[in-house]
Structure 1
Amino acid sequence: MSYLSMFEGYSISLMRIKMNQEPIGVACDIVLPQDLTRWDDIIPSHQNDEYSVSVDETKLYPFPFNSEINHKIILWAGDITSLQVDAIVNSTNESLNDNNPVSSRIFQRAGPGLKEEISLDVRDCRTGEVRITQGHSLPARFIIHTVGPKYNIKYQSASENTLHTCYRGVLQKAKESGLHSVALPIINSVKRNYPPEEGAHIALRTVRRFLEHHGSSLETVIFVVNKVDLGIYEVLLPLYFPRSKLEEESARYQLPEDVGGPDGEPIVPDRQIRIIDNPQHTLHPDDESVDLSVQLETSITVGDHAFSQMQGDLDQQRLLGGRSLNDPLADIMVKEIQHQERYERLLRRAKTEDLTEVSGIGCLYQSGVDRLGRPVVVFVGKWFPFNQINLDKALLYLITLLDPIVRGDYVIAYFHTLTSSNNYPSFSWLKEVYNVLPYKYKKNLKAFYVVHPTFWTKMMTWWFTTFMAPAIKQKVHSLPGVEYLYSVMSREQLEIPAFITEYDMTINGIRYFQPEAPS
């Protein structure tokens, strides 16, 4: 063989390599929906466990088990531009030129024809609206463009309604256009300050309701997420698309109070001032009246007249059935009512204040369920900057996270791994938190696991549960390693930072980090 032939062969091979190369992060192959795993084909981690949960058939769950709907759902972490579907969704800005990774990738792969079509025919898209274009060089036939809302806590209701409109509008446009498969990215952009978990709730329930009403028009809905949002969707999908009656029953204790209207839209209670002629309204937290002093932000001194003491005097005497407020039993009842009212005020504050500086720390979150279907709350001690954090906001975040969870049985896993004195909360703050939380927190807490405890942790736990929280003393368990949690929950359900597992392996070995044997 001549050098010329060798050179030509080498050149041809090099050209083939360059032709097959694509930029880093670009999918080389087209992905077909039939090659992806459907939601109903993923067996819940606790599906084969040897226990049963009795389902109360008289209490209808708002999102019951439906295998037909589940088969339409796919959760996938990948490149949306590689999907060969009828339509992919582009979350963009009003000028349709948003510089976000997903949108930029769509324009890059679609080619110049997309920009030309937008310039000539579409031009713009208002927030909450949708526009549809051809897919051009994409594997997808069409692109549905939508503009998600900017999130501001002052206009939370407007943001939620607009986000719902985006998801609903995309699905409606697909239906009107005769499309049967749609790939949905995360429309609630973090770039626009939208809390990821709250956005996921709206996305999931909106899709669920649409499939209930118009399921025959859509065969496949693919939630295309990044690695950050994947964990959120894995946890929340079973709430809206339970894969069994057992998972449906477990979801009852985790579903938020607001499950939306008939189409999944947020429900905003009418803002009105109501005159209550029945003082027993204080026994019903859901029946709230407006606190004018808070709303008007005024400080008006009325005086010592009985009218100014109405709630603590006449109303309370009627509420207690005519008992004297000096009666010891009446005193206990009044304190319990006041305690509940205080908690309700804090809960309302927690739902309106901006708590991102606390939620962003990541030291407190829910991580799946245990083998009995009970939600597991994880607290990472090393990530709790006690001396630097706003403790009032920390309490509010604790309340807003736990309130929907503690309505049923739940467990807490506290990881004391590699904590320092900067992470140790004071006894006074712990006492304040414990006293603020109502009885349901103590009653429904079934276990409190302390993982990697130290001598200081054991002494603090003993002192606290002996003198301040005896109601939970028998529920606290110290565990020397992560593996001991696997007797009560599947390892697939437990999401913890890497430094915890790395530390655990150094002291306990790696024997239990192998995959679980199939049931």
Structure 2
Amino acid sequence: MNKIEQLNFLIKELISEQERYKNLKIPKEYNEKRKLLRALMNVREPYEASEEFIKVQDEFLKTESEEKGIVELKDLATLDEQFTEKSNKHGNKISLWQGDITSLKVDAIVNAANNQMLGCFVQCHACIDNAIHSAAGIQLRNECDELMKKQGFLEPTGSSKVTKAYNLPCKYVIHTVGPIISGTLATDDCKKLEACYKACLEAAIENGIKSIAFCCISTGEFRFPRDKAAEIAINAINDFLDRNDEKIERVVINVFKREDFEIYKNLLG
């Protein structure tokens, strides 16, 4: 199958799963087809799909990932290389990089999840949870569902869980639930965000993960102030590396927005 044929097949398979989709029309334009596929994947409940669906989906998503461009760890400068005029505590082990976290070929990327830990169900939402699940494929939600059913309760803030990465270039996804800010930032909120970073790094060591890329946890939909979040992230990473320097080869601080890059740049460089 070519990409159009793959898209049509995947859309038709997802439509056939639900009676409510029976009158849904498949658009003719490629970008609209792609948007519909993502939307159908986003709202799909966690359950098994046919082997053929998984095969075609995996081929499609991996081709898409390669076409988008895969960024390898060797392509990322360390802080020592980025900011040569200043000395950073662990500048040889930390990188600051602006880009799409789903393109990173590191051991693990961090997903800012919600406490249901099943990914974002909002169609084509711009959050990182949605982006990661959309690029990984439906297997990621299924694995998360298995973990949550086994646990039997919602994921606590400041903890973490490790899953496979499926069609992402990385090997694993580490999911963590950050604090939600509804009013004035409290000391407890800061402690919970710090716990997220430490829980992810501890999970990395427990699973033999040597390189990890963090997103800006809680600063999007969860409304944690960006400058304070960056300060907490840097302190938590440095503190962890003080005690576990030999166990982690690289920590990537991944930002998507230029605003966040400038905040980290001012703090690190």
Scaled by the length of structure 2, the TM-score of the pair is 0.69
Structure 2 counterpart of 1:229: 260
Structure 2 counterpart of 1:32: 72
Question: 1:130 and 1:16 mapped to 2: Cα distance?
Answer: 35
Residue type matched to 2:267 in 1? Answer: L
Deviation at residue 190 of structure 1 after TM alignment: 3.4
Structure 2 counterpart of 1:515: none
Structure 2 counterpart of 1:115: 141
Deviation at residue 228 of structure 1 after TM alignment: 2.3
Question: 2:3 and 2:223 mapped to 1: Cα distance?
Answer: 44
Structure 1, residues 144-200: CA drift from partner, whole Å, max 9, x if none? Answer: 000110125556011000000001111111011111000100003232221100111
Residue type matched to 2:204 in 1? Answer: A
Question: 1:121 and 1:16 mapped to 2: Cα distance?
Answer: 33
Structure with the bigger RCO (C-alpha within 8 Å, sep 6+) is 2
Structure 2 counterpart of 1:187: 217
Deviation at residue 233 of structure 1 after TM alignment: 0.7
- Structure showing greater radius of gyration is 1
The match for 1:104 among 121, 127, 130 is: 130
Describe the SS at the equivalent of 1:70. Answer: coil
Aligned identity (percent) is: 31
Residue type matched to 2:80 in 1? Answer: D
Residue type matched to 2:194 in 1? Answer: H
Cα distance 1:162–1:88, how it changes in 2: closer, same or farther (>3 A)? same
Contact kept, 8 Å, 1:152 with 1:159, in 2: the verdict is no
Cα distance 1:36–1:152, how it changes in 2: closer, same or farther (>3 A)? same
CA-based RMSD of the aligned residues comes to: 2.8
Structure 1 counterpart of 2:40: none
Q: 5+ residue gaps in structure 1?
A: 1-11, 49-63, 239-519
Structure 1, residues 25-68: CA drift from partner, whole Å, max 9, x if none? Answer: 97612210101222111244xx49xxxxxxxxxxxxxxx754xx
Answering whether residue 88 of structure 2 is matched by residue 88 of structure 1, we say no
Structure 1 counterpart of 2:161: 131
Cα distance 1:198–1:212, how it changes in 2: closer, same or farther (>3 A)? same
Residue type matched to 1:106 in 2? Answer: I
Cα distance 1:121–1:193, how it changes in 2: closer, same or farther (>3 A)? closer
Deviation at residue 17 of structure 1 after TM alignment: 9.9
Structure 1, residues 340-360: CA drift from partner, whole Å, max 9, x if none? Answer: xxxxxxxxxxxxxxxxxxxxx
Question: 1:137 and 1:171 mapped to 2: Cα distance?
Answer: 23
Describe the SS at the equivalent of 1:224. Answer: strand
Deviation at residue 121 of structure 1 after TM alignment: 2.3
Deviation at residue 135 of structure 1 after TM alignment: 0.9
Structure 1 counterpart of 2:25: none
Residue type matched to 1:103 in 2? Answer: D
Describe the SS at the equivalent of 1:191. Answer: coil
Structure 2 counterpart of 1:41: 81
Contact kept, 8 Å, 1:77 with 1:225, in 2: the verdict is yes
Structure 1, residues 1-34: CA drift from partner, whole Å, max 9, x if none? Answer: xxxxxxxxxxx9xx58999x99699761221010
Question: 1:87 and 1:127 mapped to 2: Cα distance?
Answer: 20
Residue type matched to 2:157 in 1? Answer: T
Question: 1:143 and 1:65 mapped to 2: Cα distance?
Answer: 27
The match for 1:213 among 243, 254, 257 is: 243
Contact kept, 8 Å, 1:122 with 1:131, in 2: the verdict is no
Describe the SS at the equivalent of 2:105. Answer: coil
Deviation at residue 77 of structure 1 after TM alignment: 0.8
Describe the SS at the equivalent of 1:103. Answer: helix
Contact kept, 8 Å, 1:33 with 1:85, in 2: the verdict is yes
Question: 1:29 and 1:172 mapped to 2: Cα distance?
Answer: 29
Alignment of 1:7-18 (within 5 A): none
Question: 2:172 and 2:111 mapped to 1: Cα distance?
Answer: 10
Answering whether residue 171 of structure 2 is matched by residue 141 of structure 1, we say yes
Scaled by the length of structure 1, the TM-score of the pair is 0.37
Contact kept, 8 Å, 1:92 with 1:147, in 2: the verdict is yes
Contact kept, 8 Å, 1:163 with 1:202, in 2: the verdict is yes
Question: 1:65 and 1:37 mapped to 2: Cα distance?
Answer: 13
Alignment of 1:374-453 (within 5 A): none
Structure 1, residues 203-260: CA drift from partner, whole Å, max 9, x if none? Answer: 011101111110111001111102221111111113xxxxxxxxxxxxxxxxxxxxxx
Describe the SS at the equivalent of 1:128. Answer: coil
Describe the SS at the equivalent of 1:127. Answer: coil
Structure 2 counterpart of 1:70: 91
Contact kept, 8 Å, 1:149 with 1:163, in 2: the verdict is yes
Question: 2:3 and 2:165 mapped to 1: Cα distance?
Answer: 27
Structure 2 counterpart of 1:151: 181
Question: 1:30 and 1:154 mapped to 2: Cα distance?
Answer: 39
Cα distance 1:128–1:43, how it changes in 2: closer, same or farther (>3 A)? closer
Question: 1:113 and 1:17 mapped to 2: Cα distance?
Answer: 22
Cα distance 1:235–1:117, how it changes in 2: closer, same or farther (>3 A)? same
